[in-house]
Amino acid sequence: MRGAPGNEGCDLTRFSARDIDRFRHGSHTRLCDHFGSHICTCDGERGTYFAVWAPAAASVSVIGDFNDWDAGVHPLHRCTGDAGIWEGFVPGVDRGDRYKYHVASTQDAYASERGDPFARYWEGPPGTASVVWNPAYRWEDGAWMRTRARRHDPGAPLAIYEAHLGSWRRVPEEGDRPLSYREIAVPLAEHIVDAGFTHVEFLPVMEHPFYGSWGYQTCGYFAPTSRYGTPEDFMHLIDTLHRHDIGVILDWVPSHFPDNSHALVFFDGTHLYEHPDPRRGFNPEWNSYVFDYGKHEVRQFLINSALFWLEQYHADGLRVDAVASMIYLDYGRDDGRWLPNVHGGRENLEAVAFLRTLNRHIADRCPGALRIAEESSEWPRVTGRLYSGGLSFDLKWNMGWMHDTLRYFTQDPLFRKHAHQHLTFSRVYAFKEQFLLPLSHDEVVYGKRSLLNKMPGDNWQQRANLRILLGYQYTHPGKKLLFMGGEFGQWREWYHEASLDWHLLNTPAHAGIFAWVAALNRLYRCEPALHECDFEPQGFEWIDCADADQSVLVFLRRGKSSPEPLVVVCNFTPVPRSGYRVGVPLPGRWSEVLNSDAVRFGGSGVITGSVRTTEPVACHGRDHSLVLTLPPLSLLVLRRTGAGV
C-alpha cells in the first residue's frame, strides 16, 4: 500500500474557482486537464492526481493494485464550490497502475466500483479497471496537418475506406489474433494508397466491453481500446496514415451507452449521465442508456470527448453515430412509451442544442476537422449553418440513396425497368444537404450478404453488377464511402471475428474488381467534374433518365476549374446495345475514359471505340449526338478530347 492522499503543492493545475464555475455552467472545454488520472509531483513526491464527478456520493475512494483494492486507504475529498467533484493525490501511483473509484451513497446504501469516465487507458477485456496513463508521443505529421483544411474543402475529393480494426487482417498462425495498431499501420496505409482512397474511417476505437458491439457500445470516451495496443500505438497508426497522405475519421457514439455496471450507468447511485425518466433515458431497441443532454456537465463530457480525439489524436473528423436516435424522442419507442418535449412535439430540443454547440466548438477549436452525421431521417438542414437554424455538420450520410440503390441492384435485370425510379429519385433531393454516399458495414452483416453476393445473375454477372454499382456511386454527386472487402468483391458477408478473405486478390476476377476501384478513385480525384460541384446543382444534369425499358441512364457531370464535362452512360442489363444514340452537350471528338467492361477489370471487353465523333443529329434535346455500343452491365465515362463541327 502506498501513501495517503493530498494535493497541496501539486504541480498539476487543480480545479480553480473559475474552473468549477465554468463546469457548473457548461462552458468548460478543457476538462481533460483536470478530470481523470494525471501523473504529477506533489511536495516533491511523484504520484497521481485523481478527479471524478459524483455529486450524489457520500464518499469516493481510489482503489487499485497499489492499495489491495481497499476502499478505506485512499479517500478523495470534495472540491469546494458544490459541483460534485471529488479529488485527491496518491503518492507512488504511476503509469500502468490499475484503478477504479469506489463510490458510496447514503441512498439505498449504494456502493459500487467504477471505471474512470475520463480514463486515457483501460485494461483489456474481460478486465474492467482503468489504467493510469499519460500518453506521450512525438508526432511527425506536420505536413498533413498544415494542409488538412484544404483537403476538406467542399469541392475537394473525399473517398473513404471504412474499416474495422479487429477484422481487417488477422494472424492465423497465432490463434487468428487481430493485428495490433503498430502491425496494421503500414499494410493498411499501403493498401489504401493502392486502392486510391483519400481517407479511412474506423468503426469506434473507443474502449468498449463487448467486442461484438463493434465499438458502438462505448464505455471509455477518452481511451482507444487496449485490444490492439497502447494509446501511443494508436497515435502511431494515425501518424503513419497521415504520412501516407491518408486522413483518419473516427466513428463516435454520443447517442447511447451500455448498461455495464463498471461504466457510466447509475454512476453515483443516481441517473447521473442518463436521463432519469426511462421514456427518455433508455433505448429499448438497443437495450442501452441515453445521455441526458439537458445537463451542462453531460454535454461538456461529450464535447470534451470529441475535442480530445481531434486534438490529442490528430483525428481528421468524427462521424457521429445514430443522430436520428438523438434528435427524435420517439425513436425506437412505441406510442405511449416516449415523453414529448415542452411544446408537445417529438423533437429532442436538448439534443439538438447539444449537436449545434458541439459543431460550433469543433469548428472553432479544430478548423478543417470534418463533422459527419449518420442521420437517417428527413430532418431539415443537417448540414445547414448555425445562422440558418441548421445543425452545422459538414456531411450527412445519404441513407436514402444507399437503400434505394441497393434495392435496385438486387433486382433481376429483367425486372429493373419497373424499379427505374429507385435510381432517378435521388436527383430530387441530391442538393438539399451536403451528402456522402455510403456503402457501409451495416449493409453487409446479419444475413444481408456482401455487396457482391447481393448481386443477381451468375458469377460473372454478379461481378459486373458490383462494378457498375461502384461506378454509379463514384459518378453520382456526393462524397464516397465503401466498407472494407467491397474493394475486391468479398463473397462472404462481414464477420467481426474473422479476417477479410485476402486470398481472393490472387484471382484475376477479384483483382479486376480491385483494379476497377483503384481506377475509379484515380478518376474521381483527378477529374474536377466528379468532385468540385458535389453539392451544387450545376454539377449534375440528366441527359436521359427516361429509358426505363432498356434500363439505361445517361447524365453529365461538370466542375468549376475545367470547362469540359464528363458524360456517364450506364447499361444496367446484361444485354449489349449497339447503335445506341446519346445526345451530348458539345460537338467534337469524345473518348472513352473508363469502361467497367474492360478485360483488365474482369469484363467481356466490349468497347465503344477509343474515339467517337459527334454527328449533327438532335437527340435528348441536344443538337449533337454520339452513336455508341453499350457493353453488358457496364458504366462508361466519356470526355471530349477535341472540338469539331
Given 162, 251, 297, 321, which residue is catalytic?
321
Residues of the chain with pLDDT under 50: 1, 4-9, 11, 645
The answer to whether 190 and 197 have CB atoms below 8 angstroms apart is no
CATH of domain 537-643: 2.60.40.1180
List the one residue out of 320, 206, 335, 338 whose CA is nearest residue 281.
Answer: 338
CA distance linking residue 524 with residue 376, whole number of Å: 26
Question: DSSP labels for 346-378?
Answer: SB-HHHHHHHHHHHHHHHHHSTT-EEEE---S-
Q: Are 603 and 467 in contact (CB under 8 A)?
A: yes
Q: Which of 322, 368, 303 is nearest to 204 (CA)?
A: 322
Strand partners, 556: 541, 567
Q: Quick check: is 374 catalytic? A: yes
User: What is the phi/psi pair of residue 622, to 5°?
Assistant: -125, 155
pLDDT of residue 607: 72
Q: Which backbone phi and psi does 579 adopt, to 5 degrees?
A: 65, 30
Single out the catalytic residue among 374, 394, 493, 592.
374
Distance CA 533, CA 527 (A): 11
Which H or E run contains 323? helix 323-327
CATH number of 202-233+251-397: 3.20.20.80
Residue 643 is predicted with a pLDDT of 64
Are 468 and 635 in contact, with CB atoms under 8 Å apart?
A: yes
Domain ranges of the chain: 17-131, 202-233+251-397, 537-643
Instruction: Provide the CATH topology of domain 17-131.
Output: Immunoglobulin-like (2.60.40)
252 forms bridges with which residues in the sheet?
320
- Looking at residue 7, what is its pLDDT? 45
207 in active site: no
How far is residue 461's CA from residue 633's CA, in Å, rounded to a whole number?
Answer: 7
State residue 17's pLDDT score.
Answer: 87
Q: What is the pLDDT of residue 345?
A: 97
Strands 370-373 and 282-283, how do they pair? Answer: unpaired
Domains 17-131 and 202-233+251-397 equal at CATH topology level: no
Place of cell 476538462: 31
Q: What is the pLDDT of residue 562?
A: 81
Amino acid at 342: V
Nearest to 595 by CA among 416, 461, 468, 459: 468
406: left (phi over 0), alpha (psi -120 to 50) or beta: alpha
Could you give the CA distance from residue 371 to residue 407 in angstroms, rounded to a whole number? 28
The x, y and z cell numbers of residue 427, run together, are: 436527383
Residue spans of alpha helices (H) in 482-532: 508-526
- Please report the beta strands in 338-425, taking only residues with DSSP state E, as ranges in sequence order: 370-373, 395-397
Whole-number Å distance between alpha carbons of 611 and 644: 13
Does residue 126 have a cis bond before it (omega within 30 degrees)? yes
Residues 555 and 543: beta-carbon distance below 8 Å: yes
Burial status of residue 444 (CB atoms within 10 A of its CB: 0-12, 13-18, 19 or more): buried
Instruction: For residue 545, report the phi and psi dihedrals to the nearest 5 degrees.
Output: -115, 10
Tell which residue, 54, 36, 100, has the closest CA to residue 270: 54
- Pseudo-torsion of CA 143, 148, 149, 154, nearest 10°? 140
